Structure 1
Amino acid sequence: MRLSVIGCGYLGAVHAAAMASIGHDVVGIDVDTRKIESLSKGEAPFFEPGLQEILAAGIESGRLRFTTEMAAAKDASVHFIGVGTPQQAGGYAADMTYVNAAVDGLLPYLDDGDIVAGKSTVPVGTAAGLAPRVEATGATLVWNPEFLREGWAVQDTVDPDRLVAGVPSGTAGERAADILREVYHPAVGKGTPFIVTDLATAELVKVAANAFLATKISFINAMAEIAEVTGADVTQLAEAIGHDARIGRRFLGAGIGFGGGCLPKDIRAFSARAEELGRGESVAFLREIDAINLRRRDRAVELVVEALAGTVFKKNITVLGAAFKPHSDDIRDSPALDVAVKLHGLGAHVAVTDPEAIANAQRVHPQLTYVEDRDEALRAADAIIVVTEWDEYRRELSPEHAATLTAGRIVVDGRNCLDAAAWRAAGWTYYGMGRP
């Protein structure tokens, strides 16, 4: 099939390359000239495992191309909207500028029978507002939310755990659902659940999923706060309650909390939309979820200060990690960088290292010192703090080796990802999040 993907940021670039990899002819469209030039050369503009390979293969095969010209969408019959919906400046609501601009720009190039599939995370009710403009061209608007995990985005696109299609009622919706089944033919063919809903439900699926995950993470971090004043161990607590099949162990890892370009802004936008609908009380708990998440960053800083006898002024502190999660170079709302900046603000000499995110971090926080080599970053540190659980830190860095590099023997485990017993046995003073 011939597809267009409007918006070639994280979501759009991955989607375009993944669709080409399963055999479709795809054109990616974006207003960012530099981004399009990079993609057109088969060069991924951000780090995502597996993307570089399928991107280069798609360009070489001729099935994938990128342009800044919206007119290139004319040849496609299915058009995916994958632009960003950032948090509004000075508020919690989602900024719909890019979604509206993408639809307005696409309208002149739609033909009768075309499908416009929204993938962006939007406030519920957005599709109902856009549908009449799309339907006036003879095309059909559907909503097909994405459920990508950064670090596994290629896999999640090609082999998702479920597919959701929000469609209008009647024959137009039935036809649109059938076309989406054809778009995702490999996944549908292997039995991946294909869930057909109305437009509003499809919009809610994504924000509800993110709200639930954020709630689970902040719940265990709230338990960590209780553990810290009672002497309990939150990691043992999580293990015990995680054996309950109704709860499960995943996303019960206490630490400095979640970040990135999705969870924080999506739960805030969900709260704002609920207020607009007159149902703010229904998701009022999300405000506390957000607050708990932000408090854990402050707690990590407090642990470093406590470990260094009450002050970090002129102390050398190595921050292991800058990306908001491993297998990514994304620093949007990164807890790791937030911790680094707070320590710097307290007068510490902060050295930040990360396998992939240093360039992005430098652009946003040039006041910090960045060191590419992990061991060099550790040299002469009075304390180290793990804030992104890369394998380079949690598995490949032994406490014995680290001790040959640092000046102090203090480690703060902001992700509870280290073997506490091993580090203590090697002579380190170990501090975990919610651990005695």
Structure 2
Amino acid sequence: MRISVIGCGYLGAVHAAAMASLGHDVVGVETDAAKAEALSAGRAPFYEPGLPELLTEAGANGKLRFTTNIADAAEAEVHFLCVGTPQSKGSYAADLTYVNGAVTALLPYLKPGALLAGKSTVPVGTAARLADLVAEAQPSAHLVWNPEFLREGFAVQDTLHPDRIVYGVPSAGEPGDAQRAEALLDEVYATPLSEGIPKLVTDRATAELVKVAANSFLATKISFINAMAELCETTGADVTALADAIGLDDRIGRKFLNAGVGFGGGCLPKDIRAFMARAGELGADQALHFLREVDAINLRRRTRMVDLAREELGGSVAGKRIAVLGAAFKPESDDVRDSPALNVAAQLQLQGAEVVVTDPQANENASRVWPTLAFADSAEEAARGAELVLMLTEWKQFRGLDPHDFGQVVAGKRMLDGRNVLDPQRWRGAGWSYRALGRP
């Protein structure tokens, strides 16, 4: 099929490359000329395993190209809307500037029978409003909502082999032909559907809610176990053993029950805040009031890590050299948006510590956000002469450190494990003072 992808940031670039790998003819539209040029050359503007190979392959066989001119999307049968919806300045609400701008720019180029499929995470009700605009500009065109469920570090896999595909199609009385829209998306996703991937067809509002509801549930699960970690610290219990025990209940499950410094990134924090804001606009704010505590618990873990650092260093971090392992919000990513690791590093520096950060992929991005922090190319370089080491992003390079060898470069063998991924006995056996959130 002829497909356009409007917006080629993280979501759009991965989606465009994946659609081309499935055999479709894809044009990616990106307003940032430098980004479009890099993608055209097969260079991903961010770190995502497997994406450069997809870009190179699709570009070489002529299935994928990138442009800054939205008129180049005019011949597409299906347009995927993949622009960002960041948190608005001064409020929790989602900023729909890019969504509105992209749709307005595309409307003159919608051909009869074309399909606009929204993938951006938007407040519920956005699709209905946009559907009216599409119907006015091109009465035979259709608008559906087709939410994304990408995990950074696994985005290529999640696009080509998703765990579910959701179509939010027009309901009775709404603009658009539900059967025609479903048939077009079936053709787009023919390959994953042939693998038996579950397909759910809903109304537009339900499809809009799926992504934010899923993210809110995951955020709640993470904050729950972190709340338990706070209780464990006051009672001497072990949150890791607690998580193992309750995770064996198949109604609960062990995934996302890992206590630590909390979640970050460009999705969970802003999505739960936008969800709360939209609920308030709809007069249903009481239904999501619990998400305020979910957010508060998450942010409190960062402060707790700073408190532990002070305790380990005798009550003050001023003038002390501290190594921070990790800057990205999660491993296999260079994304530092709302990163717990970077937030803790910055707080320690603001309290007078000499902080050196290292990350396998995110040093450059982190240095743009916090140029006053020092950065090192390896854990050993960051820890040289350090009196305290903080494990804050669980890259395999950091999890695999040998405590005996690593102990040769530090000035003080003190480890704070903010992700509960190291073996306490192994590190203590090598002479380290080891502490972790929620563990005795």
TM-score strictly above 0.5? yes
- Report deviation, 1:53: 0.5
Over the aligned positions, Cα root-mean-square deviation in angstroms equals 0.7
Trace 1:296-307 onto structure 2 (pairs within 5 A).
Answer: 296-307=301-312
How far apart are the structure 2 equivalents of 1:390 and 1:139? 46
Instruction: Give, in whole Å, the separation in 1 of the partners of 2:436 and 2:295.
Output: 21
Whether 2:162 is the aligned partner of 1:160: answer yes
Shift of 1:95: 0.3
The secondary structure found in structure 1 opposite 2:416 is strand
TM superposition shift of 1:114: 0.4
Tell me how far apart the structure 2 counterparts of residues 220 and 369 of structure 1 sit (CA, whole Å): 32
Structure 1 residue 16 corresponds to structure 2 residue 21: no
- Between the aligned partners of 1:336 and 1:129, the Cα distance in structure 2 is 39
* 1:232-381 equivalence runs, <5 A: 232-381=237-386
- Cα distance in 2 between the residues matched to 1:305 and 1:241: 32
Q: Residue 108 of structure 1 corresponds to which residue in structure 2?
A: 108
Structure 2 SS opposite 1:164: strand
* Map of 2:55 onto structure 1: 55
Question: Paired residue for 1:410, among 409, 414, 426?
Answer: 414
1:419 to 2:405 alignment? no
Distance in 2 (CA, whole Å) between partners of 1:182 and 1:294 is 43
Give me the whole-angstrom Cα distance separating, in 1, the residues matched to 2:422 and 2:238: 14
Q: Which amino acid is 1:334 matched to?
A: S
Within 1, Cα distance between the matches of 2:179 and 2:223? 39
Contact 2:75 2:111 in 1 (8 A): no
SS of equivalent residue, structure 1 residue 274: helix
C-alpha offsets along residues 373-420 of structure 1, whole Å, 9 cap, x if unaligned? Answer: 2211111110100000000111x2011111011110100000001011
What secondary structure does 2:111 align onto?
Answer: coil
TM-score of the superposition, structure 1-length normalised? 0.99
| Secondary structure at the counterpart of residue 203 of structure 1 | helix
The aligned runs of 1:165-184 (5 Å cut-off) are: 165-169=167-171, 172-184=177-189
Secondary structure at the counterpart of residue 86 of structure 2: coil
TM-score, normalization by structure 2: 0.98
- Report the residue type matching 2:316 in the other structure: T
User: What one-letter code is carried by the residue in structure 1 that aligns with 2:171?
Assistant: S
Q: Distance in 1 between matches of 2:215 and 2:196?
A: 24
**Deviations 1:54-107 (CA, angstroms, capped at 9, x unpaired):** 011111111000000000111110000000000000000000000000100000
- Looking at structure 1, the residues matched to 227 and 169 of structure 2 have their Cα atoms a distance apart, in angstroms, of 39
Match of 2:393 among 388, 391, 395: 388
Alpha-carbon distance between aligned partners in 2 of 1:243 and 1:304, rounded to the nearest angstrom: 33
Correspondence 1:432 to 2:423: no
Q: Superposed, which structure 2 residues align to 1:156-235 within 5 Å?
A: 156-169=158-171, 172-235=177-240
Superposition deviation, residue 305 in structure 1: 0.8
Poorly superposed stretches of 4+, deviation over 3 Å: none
Size of the alignment, in residue pairs? 435
**Which residue identity is paired with 1:332?**
R
Distance 1:55 1:99 in 2: 25
* Amino acid across the alignment from 1:132: D
Alignment of 1:25-104 (within 5 A): 25-104=25-104
- One-letter code aligned to 1:419: D
Q: Which amino acid aligns with 1:265?
A: K
- Give 5+ residue unaligned stretches, structure 1: none
Q: Distance in 2 between matches of 1:23 and 1:382?
A: 54
